[in-house]
Amino acid sequence: MTKTIDRRASEARTARDWTTRLIGVALTVAMSCLLAAGSAAERDDDEEDERPLNVANILIETTDNDIELQVFVDDAEWTDLKISDPRGRRIFRLNTRGRLGRQGMTEMGFASNPTHFPEDADPTGPEVEDVVKAFLRRFPAGAYEMEADTLDESVELVSEPLLTHDLPALPEIVHPVSDTEDLPVLDPRDAEIEWEPVTGQFLGNGTVEITGYQVIVEQVDPFRKLVINLPASATSTSIQPEFLESGQLYDFEVVAFEVSGNATISVGEFLTTP
């Protein structure tokens, strides 16, 4: 049952719009964006030929089922994006052409193909550890150079966001859970999700700094979604009664965000009483 939940959550995550994910990432990049904007304002626009992108972030997202790289870029009227890793190797290039090239781009988010863990493997076991270490070797920690041009080609946009390998441990869900094959059942008028605070890393015994949590609840049929953003001190949240319906199946995720933007996701599901 657990892996069925994991696969469904992985598919749902792939289909999730980037607006939701950008809300979570904003918890860690908002301050850097303000600093970049302030720095740019101090310069004379006539003399400016290079400045940072308004948003440039690269991070790793991990579940108990897979691991993937994610990139977020945002600025006004840019074209042609290039990304190089800390060793100077080009890992991504986007060339806009034709009408889109003349129109320009603004925000963009994308993810690598996820690397799945062996089926039924313990997320804290050696099999998963080997897969994660191989993924981290492919995408080394360090500064990734992102380069784009403004639409009129008067300014080069250059940022060097840091990718870290500080992966937070999976949030341990303590409610709702079931000790049997049956799904947990919640009263839609008084439903809560609870988890243990995340303090350690996905691999090893190191500590992490959590900046916030995000809880996503999805009604399966008909599809509806609720997103709740929470501070780092949170270990539970109630679900708005008006969102839940009696006798329905719901999937949910608890997302932990580390200070660099890296995130881990634990998933579950529950039924509501008729």
Structure confidence by residue, pLDDT tens digits, 118-141: 998 999 899 999 999 999 999 999
Of the ranges 80-84, 161-165, 192-196, 203-207, which one carries the lowest mean pLDDT score? 203-207
Structure confidence by residue, pLDDT tens digits, 80-124: 999 999 999 999 999 999 999 999 999 999 999 999 999 989 998
> What's the pLDDT band for 205 if we cut at 50, 70, 90?
confident
- Domain range list for the chain: 2-163, 173-272
| Residue 14 reports pLDDT greater than 80 | no
Give the chain's mean pLDDT.
87
CATH 3.20.20.70 applies to domain 173-272: no
| Residue 151 reports pLDDT greater than 50 | yes
3-state secondary structure the chain: CHHHHHHHHHHHHHHCCHHHHHHHHHHHHHHHHHHHHHHHHCCCCCCCCEECCCEEEEEEEEECCEEEEEEEEECCCEEEEEEECCCCCEEEEECCCHHHHHHCECCEEEECCCEECCCCCCCCCHHHHHHHHHHHHHCCCEECEEEEEECCCCCEEEECCEECCCCECCCCEEECCCCCCCCCEECCCCCEEEECCCCEECCCCCECCEEEEEEEEEECCCCEEEEEEEECCCCEEECCCCCCCCCCEEEEEEEEEECCCCEEEEEEEEEECC
pLDDT at res. 204: 85
Structure confidence by residue, pLDDT tens digits, 40-78: 444 444 445 999 999 999 999 999 999 999 999 999 999
| Residue 18 reports pLDDT greater than 70 | no
pTM of the predicted model, to two decimals? 0.82
